[in-house]
């Protein structure tokens, strides 16, 4: 049987984790719950970590948005949902997305994803292909309206741009 952590041990363990990587308040509360620490004790531990700047939800949200856009190629919808699941407040999510998403990079990521997916499709852009491309991009978290703008009749996105 596992020994339950004391409040001091839990704080120390979480502080060490937060030094190595950013965590949200929601993630740390979930971690504490997994260790058997709940209620006021868990809230006090997390508040102390926030006061000591080990946890900062705004910093976490900004880093998360940058990472998911620049390295994972996620769309804003998927990022927003993932941050909400991690317990980040809606205002912080909006701020991070507004300030950290470079619209040119975002559009380029979407075009690259569509080009990549198009390689596995027939040369003609019929309704079925358009539907498959839309579902693919929406699954990556891109807004349906933006995706439809990127899938024009001319198939410009099928070909690599000249660099």
Query: Does residue 37 sit in the same domain as residue 68?
Result: no
For the chain, the farthest-separated pair of C-alpha atoms sits apart, in whole angstroms, at: 65
Query: Does residue 137 sit in the same domain as residue 113?
Result: yes
Report whether 61 contacts 96 (CB < 8 A): yes
Q: What is the pLDDT of residue 1?
A: 53
Q: Is 131 among the domain residues?
A: yes
Query: Does residue 75 sit in the same domain as residue 93?
Result: yes
Report whether 104 contacts 44 (CB < 8 A): no
Q: Is the pLDDT of residue 138 over 60?
A: yes
| Average pLDDT of the segment spanning 24-44 | 92
Q: Is the pLDDT of residue 157 over 60?
A: no
Q: Is the pLDDT of residue 5 over 90?
A: no
- Count CB-CB contacts under 10 A for residue 18: 19
Could you tell me what percent of the chain has a pLDDT over 90? 69
CA distance 83 to 96: 10
pTM: 0.85
Query: Does residue 144 sit in the same domain as residue 110?
Result: yes
Query: Does residue 115 sit in the same domain as residue 97?
Result: no
Q: Is the pLDDT of residue 160 over 80?
A: no
Q: Is 1 among the domain residues?
A: no
Residue 79, judged by CB atoms within 10 A of its CB (0-12, 13-18, 19+), counts as: buried
* Domain boundaries, position 31: 7-51
Query: Does residue 114 sit in the same domain as residue 151?
Result: yes
Query: Does residue 108 sit in the same domain as residue 151?
Result: yes
How many domains is the chain partitioned into structurally?
Answer: 3
User: Nearest to residue 140, comparing CAs of 108, 163, 114?
Assistant: 114
Query: Does residue 112 sit in the same domain as residue 147?
Result: yes
Q: What is the DSSP letter of 158?
A: G
What pLDDT digit, counting tens, does each position of 83-131 carry? 999 999 999 999 999 999 999 999 999 988 988 888 887 777 778 888 8
Query: Does residue 111 sit in the same domain as residue 145?
Result: yes
User: Between residues 150 and 61, which one has the greater pLDDT?
Assistant: 61
CATH number at residue 85: 1.10.10
Q: What is the pLDDT of residue 130?
A: 86
Q: Is 163 among the domain residues?
A: no
What pLDDT digit, counting tens, does each position of 55-93 carry? 999 999 999 999 999 999 999 999 999 999 999 999 999
Query: Does residue 89 sit in the same domain as residue 115?
Result: no
Q: Is 64 among the domain residues?
A: yes
Query: Does residue 130 sit in the same domain as residue 91?
Result: no
Query: Does residue 84 sit in the same domain as residue 114?
Result: no
């Amino acid at each position: 049987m596992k020994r339950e952590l004391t409040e001091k041990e839990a704080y120390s363990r979480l502080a060490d984790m937060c030094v190595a990587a950013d965590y949200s308040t929601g993630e740390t509360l979930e971690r504490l719950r997994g260790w058997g620490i709940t209620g006021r004790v868990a809230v006090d531990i997390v508040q102390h970590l926030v006061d000591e700047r080990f946890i900062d939800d705004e910093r976490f949200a900004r880093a998360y948005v940058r990472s998911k856009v620049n390295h994972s190629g996620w769309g804003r919808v998927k990022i927003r949902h993932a941050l909400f699941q991690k317990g980040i407040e809606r205002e912080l999510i909006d701020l991070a997305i507004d300030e950290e998403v470079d619209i040119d990079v975002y559009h380029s990521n979407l075009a690259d994803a569509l080009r990549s997916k198009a390689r596995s499709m027939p040369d003609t852009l019929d309704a079925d292909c358009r539907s498959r491309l839309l579902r693919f991009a929406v699954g990556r978290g891109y807004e349906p309206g933006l995706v439809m703008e990127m899938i024009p009749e001319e198939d410009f996105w099928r070909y690599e741009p000249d660099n």
